[in-house]
């Protein structure tokens, strides 16, 4: 069993402020709970769950941290960026032996999952 190369990217063409506004203004507790349930198999939110953790509050803050991390790519040596067809993407990755290849990896995965989920919800 050896290492695998893994990477993730996320679209950062829209502004950081746009995504933070979507999180803080468009999302209520029910929406966040729906996001948790939809992305649980991919992200594994319930590993953070204990009797003292308010999961909606925790996940909201985690998404906010993920958005901030994604847009700080110019200042983080673990991340890079590229442009394709008029869109700008941030990416991170590397060799993995079953763990995250970079500290930024899980944050970018979370931001990408939030983007995909948000764009798929019908209430917007």
Give the 3-state secondary structure percentages of the chain, helix then strand then coil, rounded to 5: 55, 20, 25
Q: What is the pTM of this model?
A: 0.90
- Which residue in this structure is represented by tokens 């958005």? 67
For 47-58, give the secondary structure using H, E and C: HHCCCCCCHHHH
Compute the distance between CA of residue 11 and CA of residue 89 in angstroms, rounded to an integer: 4
Q: What is the pLDDT of residue 124?
A: 52
Compute the distance between CA of residue 89 and CA of residue 91 in angstroms, rounded to an integer: 6
* DSSP letters for 27-46: --HHHHHHHHHHHHHHH-GG
Q: What is the pLDDT of residue 110?
A: 96
Residue 47 has which token pair? 């590993």
For residue range 79-102, list pLDDT tens digits in order.
999 999 999 999 999 999 988 999
Residue ranges of domains in the chain: 4-120
In this prediction, the residues of the chain whose per-residue pLDDT falls under 50 are: none
Mean pLDDT taken over the chain: 92
């Amino acid at each position: 069993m050896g290492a695998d190369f893994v990477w993730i990217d996320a679209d950062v063409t829209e502004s950081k402020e746009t995504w933070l506004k979507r999180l803080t203004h468009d999302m209520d507790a029910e929406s966040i709970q729906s996001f948790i349930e939809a992305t649980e198999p991919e992200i594994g939110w319930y590993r953070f769950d204990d009797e003292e953790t308010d999961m909606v509050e925790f996940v909201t803050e985690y998404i906010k941290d993920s958005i901030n991390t994604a847009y700080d790519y110019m200042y983080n040596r673990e991340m890079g960026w590229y442009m394709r067809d008029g869109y700008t993407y941030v990416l991170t990755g590397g060799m993995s032996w079953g763990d995250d290849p970079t500290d930024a990896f899980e944050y970018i995965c979370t931001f990408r999952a939030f983007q995909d989920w948000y764009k798929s919800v019908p209430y917007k």
